[in-house]
Structure formats: structure tokens, C-alpha cells
Amino acid sequence: MHLEQGNDTQHLEFLLLGLTEDPELLPLLFGLFPSMYLVTVLGNLLIILATISDSHLHTPMYFFLSNLSFVDICFTSNTVSKMLVNIQTQSKAITYAGCITQIHFFVLFAGLDDFLLTVMAYDRYVAICHPLHYMVIMNHRLCGLLVLVSWFVSFLHALLHSSMILRLSFCTDLEIPHFFCELNQVIQRACSDTFLNDLVIYIASFLLALGPLIGILSSYFKIVSSIHAISSSHGKYKAFSTCASHLSVVSLFYGTSLGVYLSSAMTQNSHSIATASVMYTVVTPMLNHFIYSLRNKDIQSALRKICGTGR
């Protein structure tokens, strides 16, 4: 539905054009994305169940991991579920309220992913650089506080962006060349001045993306220095193996995010940007639990107990 005036938001609808307008490819997408979504949800749910059920996994590292798995489920559900409904119903519409809600939760869970990865890097830093004081430093109170602060800051960040969109007026160009309500794409469809929105995006992105990245790099700089000081090769391997999975997930998260950013900067093809976005909205949350479970004997043991194939 297209409106000539942007003030009547009650009946306003956006049109999500999706990844392709080729009707022959829609069955392929409807077969591929539910499979990936199912793998993501079940895999991360198993990680959560494993960390809850096995007392050996009641440690800070697995507490943060279970939170990351929960956020990955919510992150993917927020974007993929609406796309699947639209493909099934052959509809491209999303309401104004639905679009704002989707933006809010997308920013919320993307921020949480970033903060939790930073917290997990700090956890690995304490474990490797201060092993004798690990349980004293990473006590239950600090772990809970770190997660709570991550949620609080991410919520305020998401609330800021969703509130800023409410001040905009939308007229006739309501087609979004994406499979979800992506923040920049929605702002570009506004017929009122968006300077303040763009400024907030740049400042918030700089602070909330660069800050955690500096924290992660600082932690790993100290970790590498500490590992380098270990004399035995076995000791070095054992120390590095405890953070290899996390380092892989961090590389995947920032690599895909940077890839989408560069693709959006280098090309004006909106469908190419939407396709690149699949990497960090669908593929990354799907691969995270594989990275942790395939390289982690403790999680593998807990999963075998859940499935009844291990002691």
C-alpha cells in the first residue's frame, strides 16, 4: 500500500522485495532458508541444553556461550521468519509497526553479539593470563553483570535507532530491496530530512563497533604475549586451543560484517547487498555452534549425554 502522505502510519506498509524477484528461484529459497534456520535453532538450542544439563559446563566461558547461542537464535528468527512467511503467502508487505519492531530487535541482537564476543575475549584473557585468579575474578556476580550491561547498552542503542525512525515521514517510495527492514534502507525511503538519523548511525556505529573491537584486539594482544612466554610447545598449544573457537567466531562475525559494509560501499546494487547480508544474518549464527561443538570435547560429551549415547 502506497500513501501520498507520510503522517498516517497506522495504515502504512513497506514492501520487502527479498533476495530475488525471479519466481523460479522462490521455491529454492523456501527450501534452503528453512533448512538453515532449523539447523541454527536446533544447534544453538543443543548448546544451551548442554551447558545447563552438564555441571562440568557451569563455568563463565559456557555461561557466555549459552547467552551467545540464545542471541543467535533470536537474531536469525527476527529476519528469516518474516521472509519465509512472505514467500509462503506470496506477499511482500510488512506493516510500519512490524518494520520498526524488526529494526529494533535486529540492532539489539546484532549489538549483543558484538558485546558478548568482547566479554568472551576478556574471559579468555583472564583464563590464560591470570589462571590462578580466574574463578576469583570471573565470579558469578561479574559474569551476570557483564551480560546485564551488554543487554542494557544494546537495548538503549536499539531504542535510539527505532525512536529516531519514528520522527521520519514516508511518502510513496516504500519498496525495500532487502529481505528484512534494514535500517539504512528504511531511512533512505523517508521523504523528510534524514541528516540527524544518518549522523546518529555513524556515531553509534563508530562507538559501539570500534569499542568492542578494540577490547577484543587488546585481549588477544595480551593473550598472544602470555602464550609466547610459555616455554613448552605443548603448553602453548593447550593455551591457544582454549581460545581458538572464540577467535574463529570473532573472525567470522567481523569478516562477514566487513564484507557487507564493503559491498554496500562499492556497489549500488541493492540485491547484491541483500545477498551479502545473508552471511551475517543467517550463515554466521548457523556456523557458530558448529565451530564450538566440533572443537570442544566437553560440549561433545554433554551432547552425547543428552542424546543418550554417552555416559
Give the CATH number, domain containing residue 143: 1.20.1070.10
In a domain, 105, yes or no: yes
- CA 129 to centroid of chain Cα atoms: 28
pLDDT per position as a tens digit, 19-62: 877 777 777 878 888 999 999 999 999 999 999 998 889 999 99
**What's the half-sphere exposure (Cβ side, CA atoms, 13 Å) at 210?**
6
Q: Quick one: cell of 262?
A: 564493503
In a domain, 301, yes or no: yes
Tell the burial category of 270 from Cβ atoms under 10 Å away from its Cβ (0-12, 13-18, 19+): middle
Q: Which domain holds residue 252?
A: 9-307
pTM of the model: 0.91
pLDDT band, very low/low/confident/very high, at 266 (cuts 50, 70, 90)? low
Give the chain's domain count.
Answer: 1
Residue-level pLDDT at 309: 64
In a domain, 284, yes or no: yes
pLDDT band, very low/low/confident/very high, at 264 (cuts 50, 70, 90)? low
In a domain, 283, yes or no: yes
pLDDT per position as a tens digit, 167-226: 999 987 789 988 999 998 899 999 999 999 999 999 998 888 889 999 999 999 999 999
Residue-level pLDDT at 6: 45
In a domain, 1, yes or no: no
Tell the burial category of 5 from Cβ atoms under 10 Å away from its Cβ (0-12, 13-18, 19+): exposed
In a domain, 2, yes or no: no
Residue-level pLDDT at 1: 40
**Mean pLDDT over the full length of the chain:** 87
pLDDT band, very low/low/confident/very high, at 2 (cuts 50, 70, 90)? very low
In a domain, 112, yes or no: yes
Q: Quick one: cell of 34?
A: 528453512
Closest by CA position to 201, among listed 147, 148, 235, 165: 165
Mean pLDDT of the 248-275 span? 74
Residue 258: CB atoms within 10 Å: 11
* CA pair distance 94, 80, nearest whole angstrom: 13
- CA 19 to centroid of chain Cα atoms: 19
Q: CB neighbours of 128 closer than 8 A, spacing ≥ 6?
A: 223, 226, 227, 239, 242, 243
In a domain, 3, yes or no: no
